[in-house]
Every structure is written in C-alpha cells, then in structure tokens.
Amino acid sequence: MRVQVFKTWDRVHSSFWFLPALMASGTILLAFATVALDTIATDWITQNWGVTFNGGAEGASALLGAIAGSMITIAGVVFSMTLVALSLASSQLGPRLLRSFMRDTTTQVVLGTFVATFLYCLLVLRTIRHTEELVFVPHLSVSVGVLLAVVSVGVLIFFIHHVSVSIQANEIVARVGNELIAELGELFPGNIGQAGPRTPIKPPDTDFLDRCSREAQPIDSAQDGYLQFVDGEALMALAVQENLVIELIKRPGHYIIASRPLARIWPGHKVTEQMIERVNAAFALGNQRTSGQDIEFAVNQLVEIAVRALSPGINDPFTAMTCVDRLGSALCRLAQQEMPSPYRHDNQDQLRIITPVFTFPDITDAAFNQIRQYSRSSAAVTIRLLETLAEIARSVQRPEDGNALLRHANMIVSGISALPGDEDRQAAKERYQSITLLLSESS
C-alpha cells in the first residue's frame, strides 16, 4: 500500500492538473468567504476601507467580466507556451526530459494562478444583483479580484522570463545534474533495514547463500512494466513476521516481465498465496522509469542529452561537454560515499533481505559508455572525458572504483586514432597519463 502511495504521489507531482486544481479550490473558498463578509458588513467595509471598489453594480460586473475573460485567455497562452517548450525539449534534448519539465513547480503555479483568478471572478460575478428591488455589490470581493489580476500580470511577466531561461541547454543540464546529486544520498537499498552488524560489512556464509538459492521459492510478477519503487519496509516486516529471507532479483529501473521471477523466498515451504500477494504489493511497476529509487535514470537523462548533442544533425559538442562535467561532479561525490550493502538485516542483526545494488563501476559504465562511443571523432569531448576521469580519480577510495576509471580511460585512448590531428591525439595521451599517475598514487 505504501509503495502505491509513492507511485501515486510521483505521478501527481509530475502532472499539470494537481497544483492548479488545489489553487482553484482555494480561490473558490476565498470567493465564498469574501462574498459572505461583504454580505454581513458591506456598509462598514465601504466606509472604513478606502481602497475597496466603490463603483456600482454595472461597473463591478464589467470589471470582473473583463478580468475573467483576460485570465482564461492568458491561461491558454501560457499553456501554448508550455507545449512549445515541451516540444522543443523533446526534439532537441530527448523525450525523457518531458517528465522533468512537467515536474516544474513554477509552471504549475503559473497555470494555477490564472485559472484560480478566472474562477474567483466568475463566482463573485454571479453574486452581483442589478434589480431595483435588490442591489448588491460585493465591494471587498471585487477589490480582491482586482488584486488577483495585478498579481497575475506579475506572474505572466515572470513566466515569460522563466520559459526563456528553462529551455536553455545549460539550465536543463544543470537541473538534471542537481537532481542526480540529490539522489546520491538515498541510494537503493540504503533505506531498507540495517546494512549489517559489522563494519566493514562481510557477506553471509557462502554455504548459507547456496542453500538459500537452492531451496528458495520464486515469486512471479503479476504484471509487466518498469520497476519504479520497492517498499523495503513492507518486505522487511514480512520477513521478520514470517522468519524469512527474501532475495530481490530486480532493482528499481529494471524491466519486469509478467510471470517471471521477481523475488525468491527462503524457506520455500512457507510461501502461500497471501504471501505472494503481499510481495507483489511491495513492488510498484509503471510504463516508464522514474528517479525515485533509480539513480541510473538521471544518469541516462544526461547521457541522452550528450548523445543527441553529438549527433550529426545537431553537432553541439559544448552541450555534450556540459553533460560530462555534471556527470563527473556526481561521480566525484559518489566515489567518496559508502555504497549500500546488498545484505539487509533487521534490528536483531538477522539477515532478512538480499537485493541487487548500484555500484560505482555500474554507474560509471552508464555515464560514459555511450558518450565515449559517440565522441570518438570529437577531440574536444574526448579530451574532456579524460579530464573528467582524472578529476574523479582524485576522489576514489576503493580499488574497484579506480579500476573502473582506468578501464574507461583505456577504452577512450584505444579509440583516439579516429581523431583528425596529431596534436589532439597527443593531448589525449597526456590526459591519460595523468589518470594513470593519479590512480597509481591512490592505490
């Protein structure tokens, strides 16, 4: 159940309707509140509040009608501008970035502001009475409508500036890079149970793991899709309650095929239909990858921008180098932090969950493999890749991380024969030598 809440919230947070709907609901309540206050104390308000609207019913109707009409028109213009920005980002930088644009709170607030102002004016407009027997002009409510219109004009000016900035390649790369760095602190499966009773963490006994593998009962997935979230707390509670060891076969980001093993449970004889349902309920699957627990998704976004920039149709090595810089910044931080253990224990240090983990070499492969392949003929990007690897080499603390960097450096150098100039090849070799020197000093 908890994982479905995470999935729903992620979907709602990436929508254009939720925040505008909340703002519209708030202005509906505001409209009823101000009209009720006008009904109770309209004479006192007009006498003591000089800033309120003091015109007649016809003037109030015309003013609110003009504001409502202009607001719904501007809302359509804002929506059109948003679609243009989404189309540009999709064609130039990649369709995977649409999710990042739709999560932009500024755009959601702007849309909500215009829709909310329109609804407010519409609701107040219906309360104005023009008949001779009963004339009612909600002075305070009309004044609030004018104030909302003034605020909306300021919001429109800010939105034009925001769109102009947000579609710039460097700003998009920076936003995705910051999301990647923010996700480094919550690497899956770091939030599941405890890493282990000892430091450094040692793996369980090999015989025990072999026995679990032989005797475990596989739990098949109930549907197809990309694994988006794993409810570690629910799995840990199940394992403790039933005295189980649960081995996850897939981690967030992997594609799951229905009726294929999703997890294994040991001892297998304890598996029941209810337990299978509880295990499946702890996994949230969807049609696309998300950044909630999948760090490689943010890495792939930067890689996609870089690869598209290196395509012959765009030929923008500067954007590719910006992506390489952001990936290097994230990997420098990753190299300095402790990677989560695949063996998760309960409060009594009992092994309960075994899960695939993200490793530094895996993330390094995801970050540099495709960029290296597409940049063989670009001297600037090749040299920047080697310079970035050298910066990361200054931060590595584990031998396997240094080996991963050296492997990528070797693959880059093996392809520098495609570079057009001798000086470019010599510059690449000099960067490679600096990497080997740094890694030899750290080992």
Predicted local confidence at residue 53, as pLDDT: 54
Per-residue model confidence as pLDDT tens digits over 42-53: 655 555 554 455
Predicted local confidence at residue 43, as pLDDT: 59
Predicted local confidence at residue 41, as pLDDT: 66
Beta bridge partners of 135: 130
Q: Which residues of the chain have pLDDT under 50?
A: 50-51, 197-200
In sequence order, which residues have a C-beta less than 8 Å from that of residue 353 and are 6 or more positions away?
189, 192, 193, 232, 235, 236, 239, 245, 246, 247, 248, 343, 344
User: Which 3 state secondary structure label does DSSP give 262?
Assistant: strand
Predicted local confidence at residue 133, as pLDDT: 64
CA dist 242 → 238, 268, 394 (Å): 6, 12, 46
Predicted local confidence at residue 49, as pLDDT: 55
The Cα angle at residue 362 between residues 358 and 367, in degrees rounded to 5: 115
CB atoms within 10 A of CB 287: 8
Predicted local confidence at residue 370, as pLDDT: 94
> Which of 63, 145, 161 is CA-nearest to residue 110?
161
- Tokens representing residue 360 in the block: 């530094």
CA dist 357 → 2, 4, 338, 354, 434 (Å): 22, 22, 12, 9, 31
pTM of the model: 0.83
Cβ–Cβ under 8 Å, residues 89 and 167:
yes
Predicted local confidence at residue 1, as pLDDT: 58
Q: Could you tell me the sign of the dihedral formed by the alpha carbons of 392, 393, 399, 401, in that order?
A: positive
Phi first, then psi: give them for residue 282, nearest 5 degrees: -85, -5
Cβ–Cβ under 8 Å, residues 139 and 288:
no
Predicted local confidence at residue 404, as pLDDT: 94
- Which strands, in side-by-side order, build the sheet including 225-230? 255-256, 225-230, 283-286
Per-residue model confidence as pLDDT tens digits over 250-286: 889 899 999 899 999 988 888 889 999 999 989 989 8
> Which of 393, 373, 221 is CA-nearest to residue 310?
373
Q: What is the CA radius of gyration of the chain?
A: 29
